[in-house]
Amino acid sequence: MSVPADPPPRGPGQAAAARAVAEAHRGQWAFVLAATVRVTRDLDLAEECVQDAYTKALVAWASTGIPARPGAWLTTTARNRAVDVIRRDAFFRTALPLLADDDETVTGPADGEDIPDERLRLIFTCCHPALAPQDRVALTLRLVCGLTTAETARAFLVAETAMAARITRAKKKITAARIPYRIPDSGDLPERIDAVLTVVDLLFTTGHVAPEGPALLRTELIARAAGLARMLGELLPGDAEVAGLRALVLLTDARRPARLDAEGAPVLLADQDRGRWDRAAIAEGLLLVRRALRRRPPGPFALRAAIAAVHAEAPTWEATDWPEIVGLYDLLLRRRPTPVAALNRAVAVGFAHGPAAGLAALSDLAEEPRLAGYPYASVARGEFLHRLGRRAAAGSAYRQALQHTSNAVERDFLLTRIAALDAEQPC
Amino acid sequence: MARYLLLIHDNEADYEAADDAARRALDEAHAAFDREHKDAIVASEHLQQTSTATVVREDGAGGHLVTDGPYAETKEALGGYYVIDVSDLDAALAVAKRLPFFGGTGEAAVEVRPLH
């Protein structure tokens, strides 16, 4: 008995279409959504229409072929759908609060030729300082990166229902408080760009040192943060602080291949095999640092990138230019005093001028309440005490750090340090 | 257009301890602010001291309890308000940033609340 063969597909086939849709999801989501919001002036409706356009693309692209400009195809499809819904629900929609936009109304789909890039509007709205910082992060992942609510919840290790409630509340604030869907005026722009960069930085840092959970790194968050940094570089090419953030992300993430050993335990910067650092990322980061530092005075992201650059350029831990790092932290603390920067400066002082000086710098921060639950302050104290030969005090500092970290990999690391101290303890 | 309530919280003790010249300077600054934003301002009032406030609350048994003092006892007290009508939150925040504060001690704050 012969099995009848399937008719040959007319288009590129389902697998190729699915690949193209997935790629367009990664690369074009923000563009498509941002342009659709201009028509709907309603984030939820725009999301529905964009989701619908991606679903339609799966079928359409399999049979008629992948369009030359997938983003334009998806935008036109989503906007067409939006126009239909708006026409159908015109009566109900008069009662809905709409997003505050410019006076000019965008009514219909563009002809697919030149759809303006509205991504900055979307980004500035999601990262508005009137929203709570964690809400900005959640909205950015959901709306700019196109993650589902479940994926966003997973990225932050919270329950999906909690994440859904957070996103709903944040969207409600956007309409109720009339957070505008607009690029801020030039006077507000530096401050508002800083708010956007802070969101990306928070995402990156959360991925780079996962504060809890089984893994030290959450690579999907690092990838999202790097993607957002690249997108901002494309959208705000002349901004020095955007260049600084991109450099910071590149230079910090360049160490990733050397940060964990074969067993997945963290390797300190001092002990990392620098041969495994990503040299291409470092080269790109160093170029961007130079651009970021051209602005006078340099901004906080440029300074942090410059610190990362000093590490990246040092051939060994011992050869690191610690006085330069201390100087950069001094500048950073003048621009943006934060307890974490103060702690890092104290650590750098310890390497520039010896463990006793480091310990003294750390003790200046002992009263800082915002460092009270921060494990790295205790880890640094433990290090300096250990190097001064004060093993018992070092052990108790490590044990204190242990109380403040719920990251499994870091806990193992600290337990190993404590065990090593106990082993060398002379009786 | 959208209406916002700007609630001005500042340090009452500083204001009470101030001399006439300093108070006059603040009044003049507010008058200048009013002129600058006359198209946006719907209403505004300067509140009397919190020591003059009275609170009426539910007593949980269907009646009321009348007590002295403001609703919340804090160092920063509600000292005045503006209702403004502007295009969106960014415009409201721009107006709020222009509000004159007493003393400039870095302790004053404006809460910007959208109205229905």
B88 interfacial to chain A (CB closer than 8 Å): yes
Residue A425 has pLDDT above 80, yes or no: no
pLDDT at A85: 92
In a domain, A64, yes or no: yes
Residue A219 has pLDDT above 70, yes or no: yes
Residue A422 has pLDDT above 60, yes or no: yes
Secondary structure element (H or E) that encloses residue B91, with its range: helix B89-97
pLDDT (tens digit per residue) in B43-98:
999 999 888 999 999 988 999 999 988 887 777 889 899 999 999 999 999 999 99
Residue B2 to residue A130, Cβ atoms within 8 A: no
Q: What is the mean pLDDT of residues A201-224?
A: 77
Distance CA A220, CA B50 (A): 52
The CATH number that applies at residue B22 is 3.30.70.1060
Q: What is the mean pLDDT of residues B19-41?
A: 92
B2 interfacial to chain A (CB closer than 8 Å): yes
Helix (H, G, I), strand (E, B) or coil at A185: coil
Q: What is the mean pLDDT of residues A256-282?
A: 90
Domain range spanning residue A36? 14-93
pLDDT at A113: 59
Residue A184 to residue B88, Cβ atoms within 8 A: no
Residue B90 to residue A177, Cβ atoms within 8 A: no
B93 interfacial to chain A (CB closer than 8 Å): yes
Residue A184 to residue B2, Cβ atoms within 8 A: no
Domains in chain B, number: 1
Closest CA to B27 of B15, B17, B38, B37: B15
Query: What are the structure tokens assigned to B105, written together?
Result: 């001690």
Give A39's contacts (C-beta < 8 A, 6+ positions apart).
Answer: A46, A79, A82, A83, A86, A106, A107, A108, A109
Pick from B87, B90, B112: which is nearest to A184 by CB? Answer: B90
% of chain A with per-residue pLDDT over 70: 92
User: Which of A47, A62, A93 is at the close of a domain?
Assistant: A93
What ipTM is given for this predicted complex? Answer: 0.87
Identify the residue with better confidence: A206 or A45: A45
> Which residues 26-55 of B have a C-beta within 8 angstroms of A?
none
Query: What are the structure tokens assigned to A225, written together?
Result: 């943060």
Identify the residue with better confidence: A391 or A370: A391
* CA of B97 vs chain A CAs: smallest distance (Å): 12
Closest CA to A96 of A44, A131, A144, A135: A44
How confident is residue A120, by pLDDT bands cut at 50, 70 and 90? very high
Residue B89 to residue A185, Cβ atoms within 8 A: no
HSE at residue A180, side-chain half, CA atoms within 13 A, is 18
User: Which of A58, A93, A128 is at the close of a domain?
Assistant: A93
* Residue of A125, A172, A178 best to disrupt the B interface, most CBs of B under 10 A: A178
pLDDT (tens digit per residue) in A28-40:
999 999 999 999 9
Residue A411 has pLDDT above 90, yes or no: no
- A176: chain B residues, CB-CB within 8 Å: 114
Nearest CA in chain B to A176: B114
The CATH number that applies at residue A379 is 1.25.40
Pick from B2, B87, B89: which is nearest to A130 by CB? Answer: B89
Residue B89 to residue A188, Cβ atoms within 8 A: no
Which range has the worst mean pLDDT, A212-221, A253-262, B103-112?
Answer: A212-221
The reported pTM is 0.86
Q: What is the mean pLDDT of residues A346-373?
A: 89
In a domain, A62, yes or no: yes
In a domain, A50, yes or no: yes
B90 interfacial to chain A (CB closer than 8 Å): yes
* CA of A178 vs chain B CAs: smallest distance (Å): 5
pLDDT at A404: 84
pLDDT (tens digit per residue) in B101-111:
766 667 789 99
Rounded to the nearest integer, the mean pLDDT of chain B is 90
Helix (H, G, I), strand (E, B) or coil at A211: coil
In a domain, A387, yes or no: yes
Query: What are the structure tokens assigned to A380, written together?
Result: 């640094």
* CA of B90 vs chain A CAs: smallest distance (Å): 7
In a domain, A88, yes or no: yes
pLDDT at A427: 45
Which range has the worst mean pLDDT, A143-147, A230-234, A370-374, B6-10?
Answer: A370-374
In a domain, A201, yes or no: no
The CATH number that applies at residue A61 is 1.10.1740.10
User: Which of A49, A67, A93 is at the close of a domain?
Assistant: A93
Distance CA A245, CA B57 (A): 52
Q: What is the mean pLDDT of residues A154-163?
A: 88
Q: Is A264 left (phi over 0), alpha (psi -120 to 50) or beta?
A: left
Nearest CA in chain A to B5: A177
Residue B114 to residue A184, Cβ atoms within 8 A: no
pLDDT at A61: 95
Secondary structure element (H or E) that encloses residue A27, with its range: helix A14-40
Q: What does DSSP assign to residue A295?
A: S
- B114: chain A residues, CB-CB within 8 Å: 176-178
How confident is residue B22, by pLDDT bands cut at 50, 70 and 90? confident
Distance CA A404, CA A18 (A): 45
Nearest CA in chain B to A184: B90
Give the number of A-B residue pairs with CB atoms closer than 8 Å.
29
Domain range spanning residue B30? 2-114
Q: What is the mean pLDDT of residues A205-234?
A: 81
Pick from B90, B112, B114: which is nearest to A176 by CB? Answer: B114
Domains in chain A, number: 2
